[in-house]
Chains A and B, each alone.
Chain A
Amino acid sequence: MSRSVRVGLFCGGALALATMLVLACVDLPGFGHYPGPYGDVIARTGVAARHATDLVTAVNFDYRAFDTLGEEFILFAAVLGVAIVLRDVRGESERARQEAAEEHAFGDASAALGAVGLCLVGPLVVLGIYIVTHGHLTPGGGFQGGLALAAAPLLAFLGGEYVAMKVVAPHALVEAGEAAGAAGFALIGLGGLVFAGVFFENFIGLGTPGKLLSAGTIPLSNVAVGIEVAGAFLLLWTEFSDQALLVRK
């Protein structure tokens, strides 16, 4: 199919799609006039029922924890898929990759960039842990904090220290972290089944709202998911940077 025919077909289809979507939008409640009821029910009862002050996290890790489990395994399966798609193909060997990694240093990475990158690793880890552990109090949680944690070794990479990145975050440890985080979240769900009779029931004492140790299983779930997300994204980045080094070679 030639390019112009394809664009013509697309324009016709897109026009029809846009027309239907606009007609659908006309019947939506006007912007700024959210009608409820589900969000309102949670806003009214959430803090009293779950002792979590960040209701978005409460929805994610308690009310909709079962869906979040599915989401977590989507992430797990996708990382597995990337690892399989990027596995060694004919003519590539692990040794060539090792050599490329040892030679790697961004030639144009200045000493200042390297120093700043390495200096920021520690603060970023602290920030990531803070975001994960305070997810039930203030905006944040396992997914957001896990990403901040995963970005920390990337700073070492940015500073031209690919080998250092591998030392800070060895492959086996990252893989184990990802698997343990995914399993931990599933086990918290099973804990609800065992101790309270319902899968993902909040079975730990709820504590005082606003305190670090409150909201029952929600902070535990955040920690498990944070570890899993950090591991998953680190695995993704090592897979892709391994490829980049090979291609450059």
Chain B
Amino acid sequence: MTLLPYLVAVWVLCWGLYGIVTSRHLVHLVVCLGVAQAATYLLLVGVGYRNGAAAPIFAGLAPGTPVVDPVVQALALVDIVVEATVSALLLALAVQAQKRFGTVDPDELHSLRG
């Protein structure tokens, strides 16, 4: 079943989105966003995988050995850094929401206040 890893990525993305939609706590919502974003790591690393190939580290590896794609692994690293920064910003906003409005339930943050 060569499709399975991609389908797992779709599955993880959908459950992350479900968590965001039904969340009752802003911190929980940020964690759900992290789950949804984990799908992109799976997809990126899955696309570059090659059966029986080594990691793209040539320390102690003969030149010409088949390796998995190093480009998508570098992209996954970028992805992780961006995810960390997005989480940090959103958590800071959650802290301010608690301070200003006294609640972190997204359902109670619906009305605009001047």
Given A21-B10, A54-B57, do A81 and B92 touch, yes or no (CB 8 Å)?
yes
Q: Are B73 and A34 in contact (CB under 8 A)?
A: no
Choose among A44, A82, A143, A239 the residue that contacts B64 (Cβ–Cβ < 8 A): A44
Q: Are B2 and A46 in contact (CB under 8 A)?
A: no
Q: Are A243 and B57 in contact (CB under 8 A)?
A: no
Q: Are B81 and A143 in contact (CB under 8 A)?
A: yes
Chain B at the A interface: SS class:
helix
| Chain A residue contacts of B95, Cβ below 8 A | 85-86, 240, 243
Q: Are A17 and B14 in contact (CB under 8 A)?
A: yes
Q: Are A71 and B82 in contact (CB under 8 A)?
A: yes
**A81 nearest CB across to chain B (Å):** 5
**A54 nearest CB across to chain B (Å):** 5
Report how many residues on chain B are interfacial, defined by Cβ distance under 8 Å.
Answer: 55
**A55 nearest CB across to chain B (Å):** 4
A112 at the interface (CB under 8 A from B): no
**B29 nearest CB across to chain A (Å):** 14
Q: Are A86 and B96 in contact (CB under 8 A)?
A: yes
Closest to B53 in A: A34
CA distance A29 to B2 in the complex (A): 9
A236 at the interface (CB under 8 A from B): yes
Q: Are A79 and B58 in contact (CB under 8 A)?
A: no
| Chain B residue contacts of A32, Cβ below 8 A | 2, 49-51
Q: Are B4 and A85 in contact (CB under 8 A)?
A: no
B91 at the interface (CB under 8 A from A): yes
A7 at the interface (CB under 8 A from B): yes
Q: Are A54 and B59 in contact (CB under 8 A)?
A: yes
A 18-61 binary contact with B (CB < 8 Å = 1; else 0): 10011001101111111010111011101110000111101110
| Chain A residue contacts of B96, Cβ below 8 A | 85-86, 89
| Chain B residue contacts of A240, Cβ below 8 A | 91-92, 95
Binding site for A on B (CB under 8 A): 2-7, 9-10, 13-14, 17-18, 21-22, 46-51, 53, 55-59, 63-64, 66-74, 77-78, 81-82, 84-86, 88-89, 91-93, 95-96, 98-100, 107
Nearest 5 Cβ contacts at the A-B interface: A39-B69, A78-B85, A30-B2, A25-B6, A32-B51
